[in-house]
Structure 1
Amino acid sequence: MKTILYIIAFTLSSFTFAQNTEGVTVTIEIENLLNNDGKVSAALYNEATFMKAAPIDAVEAKPENKTITLTFTNVQPGTYGVITLHDINENGRMDFEASGMPKEPYGVSGEGVSFGPPAWGDAKFEVGADDISLKINM
């Protein structure tokens, strides 16, 4: 009898504690790239890591027809920001002019970039329970 009670209790607890830990998909679409050279990357940040530390996740791919679609999977609900880079010469980093201006195109989620480095307040967006798609201009 104890065995049956344990089995029932275990079965009920597994339903109670079994939650879907899979997050959503965040798709980044970028059109009108300068060319198909190099790679385009996207880095996903939260407020604590934005422009300060390594991203939570990063993806990259070669563009085709001057467009690219990059996908982050299993993103948990929360507030995030994305920074994209078209690394034309594939050296794995953003190149700068002597004046400090970027040589390669980049973009930011949210309201985008005005002048100066990207700001969290402009880049942030909310991830909820549904997959989302963002268009980023470079």
Structure 2
Amino acid sequence: MHGRLRAEASRYGLELDLRERMAEKTGLPDQSVDSVISSLVLCSVKEPDAVLAEIRRILKPGGTFRFVEHVVAEDGTPTRASQRLLRRPWAWTFEGCSCERDLEGAVRAAGFASVTVEHYRLHTPFLPFNPQIAGIAEA
């Protein structure tokens, strides 16, 4: 999608520095980034805790990590049952995505100075995808 992103940025006169790297090892210097934005990433990486540690490492003091993720549903709910039932086909279809991760807990445990999270649900026929969080974590 980099081609599309570059074209759209060019349309608005923006210059981009895109790098194809793993989220666990960005290669960026310590405390060198003002903000990290992540949308539906932590559900599919192998080690969410390693990604969060990397984000903390590269964020400047007071920098922000802004994220949107789909998360595990509450135990005993129909959504949680469907997440368990569809776990493997979901991961095969959506590049390793897991709807069963407690990503809010992972962000809160990652050592950020503050974390604000909003819970919401998408109106979609893809039931396992319904529980969502959006938030800001500050370094």
Q: Is the structural similarity TM-score above 0.5? A: no
> What TM-score does the superposition give when structure 2 sets the normalisation length?
0.24
Q: Which has the higher helix share?
A: 2
Relative contact order (alpha carbons < 8 A, sep ≥ 6): 1 or 2 greater?
1
Larger radius of gyration: 1
